[in-house]
């Protein structure tokens, strides 16, 4: 059996490791009776699925537990982000040139990087068909792995005590965009692919995660919302129509690629 891809020490004995946390994929199966969704691969073939992507033997039990601790912490933070209007003591809503974004005062920027980098890293190392078009540079992948392995802890208390804003972290641009409201109309797609040589995109139903490994690939608008800085956590937001247009554009791009 192979070694764990995170610690590179223990045997990768864990089965059914989620690549993307289950709480971020629940709406994929919303209103479907029986519970299911349709997966379409890069060749246009479809199949019915009943759970979010899981993979065997990529992590050891200990590293899986460390990731679960991080995910449990952020499952509550994500709820706050969706309900931002009800938690004004923890999240500020700001508007610049008619564009709205959130400032999450209840999340340490370095902790936020740990969570987002865990999504990017797992998506990149995965051999599942859902992530076959998503891969970051090997050097960056290893840099993220080292950061995760060094800072993920086995208890919630250790995790919170360890992460500080002066903790050394990989410095890359990444942006999160979400629809301004969360309803049936705003439910987006689930996909992962490289949108450029140094640009990578995770579409996670309620969030789009843009990750860039150089300074030239990110445009000026997204750079404004970048979380490369370590002073605040920024979540960009778009109206329902813009969010739907983004999802349609991604689907069309995938269809165009399949038709080449």
Taking residues 58-79, report their average pLDDT. Answer: 97
Residue 54 reports pLDDT greater than 60: yes
How far is it, in rounded angstroms, from Cα 61 to Cα 13? 6
Give the range among 34-43, 48-57, 174-183, 201-210 with minimum mean pLDDT.
34-43
DSSP 11: B
Q: What is the mean pLDDT of residues 217-223?
A: 94
Q: Which residue has the higher pLDDT, 252 or 70?
A: 70
Q: What is the pLDDT of residues 2-44, one digit of tens each?
A: 999 999 999 999 999 999 998 998 887 666 544 445 555 555 5
Question: Which runs of consecutive H residues, i.e. helices, occur in the chain?
Answer: 61-82, 109-125, 138-151, 156-162, 220-224, 240-258
pTM of this prediction?
A: 0.92
Distance separating alpha carbons of residues 25 and 39, to the nearest angstrom: 13
Q: Which residues pair with 211 in a beta bridge?
A: 174, 200
Q: Which residue has the tokens 């519970």?
A: 35
Predicted confidence (pLDDT) at residue 60 exceeds the cutoff of 70: yes
**Predicted local confidence at residue 26, as pLDDT:** 80
Beta bridge partners of 132: none
User: 235 has which bridge partners?
Assistant: 102
pLDDT at 36: 43
pLDDT digits (tens, 9 = 90+) for 224-248: 999 999 999 999 999 999 999 999 9
Burial class (CB in 10 A: 0-12, 13-18, 19+), 17: buried
**pLDDT, mean of residues 189-209:** 93
* Strand-pair category, 234-238 with 173-179: parallel
Looking at residue 23, the DSSP 8-state letter turns out to be: G
Distance of alpha carbon 188 from alpha carbon 179, whole angstroms: 9
**How far apart are alpha carbons 56 and 166 in whole angstroms?**
35
């Amino acid at each position: 059996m192979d070694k764990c891809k995170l610690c590179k020490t223990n045997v990768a004995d864990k089965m059914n490791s989620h690549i993307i946390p289950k709480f971020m994929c629940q709406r994929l199966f919303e209103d479907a009776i029986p519970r299911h969704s349709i997966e379409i691969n890069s060749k246009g073939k479809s199949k019915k699925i009943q759970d979010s992507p899981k993979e065997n033997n990529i992590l050891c039990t200990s590293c899986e537990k460390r990731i679960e601790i991080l995910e449990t912490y952020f499952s509550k933070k994500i709820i706050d982000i969706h309900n931002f209007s009800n938690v004004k003591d923890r999240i500020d809503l700001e508007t610049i040139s008619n564009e709205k974004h959130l400032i999450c005062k209840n999340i340490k920027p370095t902790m936020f990087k740990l969570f987002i980098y865990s999504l990017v890293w797992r998506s990149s190392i995965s051999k599942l068909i859902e992530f076959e078009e998503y891969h970051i540079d090997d050097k960056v992948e290893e840099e993220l792995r080292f950061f995760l392995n060094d800072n993920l802890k086995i208890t919630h208390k250790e995790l919170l005590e360890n992460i500080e804003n002066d903790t050394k972290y990989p410095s890359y641009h990444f942006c999160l965009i979400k629809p301004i409201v969360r309803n049936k109309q705003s439910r987006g797609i689930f996909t992962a692919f490289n949108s450029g040589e140094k640009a990578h995109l995770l579409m996670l139903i309620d969030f789009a995660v843009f990750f860039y490994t150089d300074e030239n690939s990110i445009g000026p608008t997204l750079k404004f919302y970048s979380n490369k800085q370590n002073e605040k956590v920024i979540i960009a937001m778009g109206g329902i129509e813009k969010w739907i247009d983004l999802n349609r554009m991604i689907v069309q791009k995938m269809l165009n690629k399949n038709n080449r």
